Structure 1
Amino acid sequence: MSVSHNLRWYLFKWRASAFILFGLQQQAMTVFEEMLREYPNDPYVLSSLAYLKTQAGDKEGAVAFYKRVVQRSDAPAYSWYNLAYLQEELGQVEDAEFSFRKALKLDEKMDLAWYGLGLTLIQQRRFDEAIKALKKNTQLQPMSPYGWYQLARVYVDRQEPEEAVKIIRHLKEFEPKFAKQLERETGLTA
């Protein structure tokens, strides 16, 4: 990038950031769209547009931009995760599974991607794989109740109440509200 080319990019970025700072997302989106015409494959611009589309409730539009980001060989794990998250929300479960796995291939310690992968596997009724993904999530985030909660639900679905009771007992130690919710939903007590 030449100095003037580089300066122009930063001026675009500054304008868009100022609009975002003042809560003017539509104006920021207009600046990023103008920026995209000059820098059509810029990952920052594509990711920013995807983010703004998500904030505006246009998940399909956001997915389209994230798909452009992940076509790049240097796409970071979090771009794959963001794509997967939106795909899962849109009910594109198999696509979401693929994207979560790509994120994990780039960063195997991304606990949120393990959790998301677990959710997509549950939706596909692939409980053995879901258990592995959720266990990895709980290893990386042992104090987050969400992975534990989903893991207990999978055990109930697999007719393994004793495993679910162990998790309820564990959750009572640090997240009693989640433990009570599981007890109410499953009829199990610990």
Structure 2
Amino acid sequence: MNATLSFFFLKLQAMALLVFNQKLQALACFEQMLVQRPDNFYALASRAHVLAQLGRKAEALAAQEQLAARHADNLAAWFNLGYMLEEAGEHARAEEAFRRVIGIDPKMDRAWYGLALVLIQTRRFDEAVAALKKNTELQPMSPFGWYQLARVHVDRQEPDEAVKIIRHLKGFEPKVAAQLERETGLLASPATPTS
């Protein structure tokens, strides 16, 4: 069997194994694919993903780092690396990965959000506010950035700013607004429509 056909067969086999939740066997297929094509994006990404699903976090992180190194301009590779590093508590490296994504595509709202989470965890609230404002500018109807922004304002002892956000959320995400009111003890009157 020629190399191209062999690679294609391994890919189909891995996909079928994943359908039937045979992750270890699929992982073996990805490893064989990487022997044939060490830089193949699909095989590298799939290996990292399956390792993470198996709970083998250190190996998954190493595999994701390898993917990002070999595909340096790929947003998904760097974003997923940032997410994994943030989850592992490696804040400085996670920040670097999210900033790499933003450098490639400044309009990737999820990267701004991920960066903000890292900045919050390192108590760099001023920078977190800037990142969250960028996230909410890019994704104004998503409650996640607004929620975190309100929480940061509370942490910065700026209850008036948090109340403004809660009021804003009442206009399109009343459940999130109510959750913030419960968590912070801040009450916001409903948003008043402008004429």
The TM-score, its normalising length taken from structure 1, stands at 0.94
The corresponding residue for 1:152 is 150
Structure 1: give runs of 5+ residues left out of the alignment. Answer: none
- Residue by residue over 1:109-148, the C-alpha shift from the partner in whole angstroms, topping out at 9 and shown as x without a partner, is 2111110100000111111110111111111111111110
The corresponding residue for 1:72 is 70
For the pair 1:97 / 2:77, whether they are aligned, the reply is no
Question: What is the deviation of 1:23?
Answer: 1.7
Q: CA RMSD in A?
A: 1.4
Could you tell me how far apart the structure 2 residues matched to 1:111 and 1:6 are?
Answer: 38
The TM-score, its normalising length taken from structure 2, stands at 0.91
The corresponding residue for 1:82 is 80
Could you tell me how far apart the structure 1 residues matched to 2:60 and 2:172 are?
Answer: 36
Identity of aligned residues (%): 54
After TM superposition, the structure 1 = structure 2 runs for residues 142-181 of structure 1, keeping only pairs within 5 Å, are: 142-181=140-179
Question: What is the deviation of 1:61?
Answer: 1.3
Structure 2: give runs of 5+ residues left out of the alignment. Answer: 189-195
| 3-state SS of 2:169 partner | helix
The corresponding residue for 2:6 is 8
For the pair 1:185 / 2:183, whether they are aligned, the reply is yes
Question: What is the deviation of 1:73?
Answer: 5.0
Q: Which moved more, 1:22-31 or 1:84-93?
A: 22-31
The corresponding residue for 1:122 is 120
| 3-state SS of 2:2 partner | helix
Aligned residues, how many?
188
Question: What is the deviation of 1:74?
Answer: 4.4
After TM superposition, the structure 1 = structure 2 runs for residues 52-67 of structure 1, keeping only pairs within 5 Å, are: 52-67=50-65
